[in-house]
Amino acid sequence: MSRKITFAINEYYHIYNRGVDKRIVFENDSDYKRFVLLLYLCNGESPVNFNSLSNWKGPTSPELIKDVFNYDRGKQLIAFGAYCLMPNHFHILAREISENGISTFMHKVGTAYTMYFNGCRERTGALFQGTYKAEHANNDEYLKYLFSYIHLNPVKIIEPNWKKEGISNEPKVRQHLTSYIYSSYTDYLGIKREFSKILDRKNFPEYFPSKSTFNKCINDWLKFTLTKEQKAKP
């Protein structure tokens, strides 16, 4: 259900949406990378001239990635704390830093990606399920939890029931998370890559001053299992 929310500058929000009728919205590597590039490119007050970018209409290329991260976006709209793309939905942890920043950004990125996706497939119509959803992270405990919640989403790809049954193969899960490049997980591990420029960690509390503190938080949630009483509840 869509929830109306009023955004405020310097406040934190969990933003998410899924494909219409729960359809797959990221079908291949190029789709994922295109959306990730749009997270950076659309995060500015300046209009985006897509025609000025190398090979924008074709497959994602090193030339395109270089052009995107050198693009003059103008004043930033939001600050990114974390993000994760899943086959049929996405999650973003953002701080609004410009007036109407989140609303403007989400309109830009949603429009740009839908045009790309539909254009590649000779498709028409809405791609995402109505208006994006947003939850206000209005306390420290919830905000810190969101970093783990968002980054652990890909675990469901290989262990769909892990939250109820626990992790059956922790090394495999760890390898999966580290190799899953469509989230900011590896950025918190200190792995250098172009996509690291999307994050703006100075605009968020310093919960993870080192990769070891981030790893500890992730470990705590990976090893978390529900009690028997909790499992028994409908």
CATH topology for 12-229 is: Alpha-Beta Plaits (3.30.70)
Domain spans of the chain, in order of start: 12-229
Q: Report d(CA 176, CA 189) in Å as an integer.
A: 14
Instruction: Kindly indicate the confidence band of residue 197, based on its pLDDT and cuts at 50, 70 and 90.
Output: very high
Average pLDDT over residues 154-169: 90
What's the pLDDT score for residue 181? 95
Average pLDDT over residues 30-34: 95
> Which residue type is seen at 95?
R
In what helix (H) or strand (E) does residue 150 lie, and over which residues does it extend? helix 140-151
What's the pLDDT score for residue 2? 42
Residue 174 has pLDDT above 50, yes or no: yes
What's the pLDDT score for residue 225? 56
Residue 234 has pLDDT above 50, yes or no: no
Residue 227 has pLDDT above 60, yes or no: no
pTM given for the model: 0.92
- Express as a percent the part of the chain with pLDDT over 90: 77
Per the CB < 8 A criterion, the answer to whether 101 and 77 are in contact is: yes
Q: Report d(CA 151, CA 146) in Å as an integer.
A: 8
What's the pLDDT score for residue 3? 53
Burial of 143 (0-12, 13-18, 19+ CB in 10 A): buried
Model confidence pLDDT, tens digit, residues 66-116 = 899 999 999 999 999 999 999 999 999 999 999 999 999 999 999 999 999
Cα angle: 157, vertex 230, 1; to 5 degrees: 60
Per the CB < 8 A criterion, the answer to whether 2 and 135 are in contact is: no
Residue 233 has pLDDT above 60, yes or no: no
DSSP E strands, the chain? 12-18, 78-86, 89-96, 133-136
